[in-house]
């Protein structure tokens, strides 16, 4: 469980620079919720990583002729992340981010550690399988 100040900080970062999405783990039917926060501030991402774990990556980019690094923290869903999302849900300001969190919380079941498959008809799933 996050401290109130940590929850507020995380909510602000997700509101501003974060994305909550689903990522395929082994097939189209099995998706894992992922929180991604991108920033040029490595110390801030390391701080968030200390709260929820996750993996850091970097990319060299050029902005107005000067080279800088953009860092990304990817946090895969686990029970502590589920709890953190429940905790920050009421602190988020962006309606889009609130909807993303609600969608993840509705589809992720921490007690079974299972991700529900996307809501698609069997016909849609067959078309998707043939496409890949």
Walk along the chain (132 residues) in steps of 10 and give the mean pLDDT of each run.
Answer: 92 92 70 87 93 91 88 86 90 94 83 50 42 38
Domains along the sequence of the chain with CATH: 4-131 (3.10.28.10)
Tell me how far apart the alpha carbons of residues 12 and 107 are, in angstroms, rounded to a whole number.
23
pLDDT at residue 43, as a whole number: 94
pLDDT of 126 reads 43
pTM: 0.73
Q: What pLDDT score does 107 carry?
A: 82
- What pLDDT sits at residue 5? 93
What lies within 8 Å, CB to CB, of 17 at 6+ separation is: 37, 38, 39
pLDDT, tens digit, 9 for 90 and up, residues 67-99: 889 999 999 877 778 888 999 999 999 999 999
For the chain, list the strands marked E by DSSP: 18-24, 31-39, 55-63, 66-76, 108-109, 114-115
- Residue 27 has a pLDDT of 61
């Amino acid at each position: 469980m996050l401290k109130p100040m940590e929850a507020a900080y995380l909510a602000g970062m997700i509101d501003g620079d974060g994305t909550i999405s689903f990522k395929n783990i082994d097939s189209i039917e099995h998706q894992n919720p992922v929180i991604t926060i991108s920033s040029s501030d490595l110390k801030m991402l390391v701080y968030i990583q200390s709260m929820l774990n996750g993996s850091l990556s970097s990319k060299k980019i050029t902005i107005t002729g000067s080279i800088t690094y953009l860092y990304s923290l990817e946090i895969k869903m686990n029970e502590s992340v589920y709890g953190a999302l429940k905790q920050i849900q009421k602190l988020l300001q962006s309606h889009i981010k609130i909807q993303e969190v609600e969608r993840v919380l509705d589809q992720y079941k921490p007690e079974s550690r299972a991700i529900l498959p996307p809501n698609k008809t069997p016909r849609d799933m067959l078309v998707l399988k043939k496409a890949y």
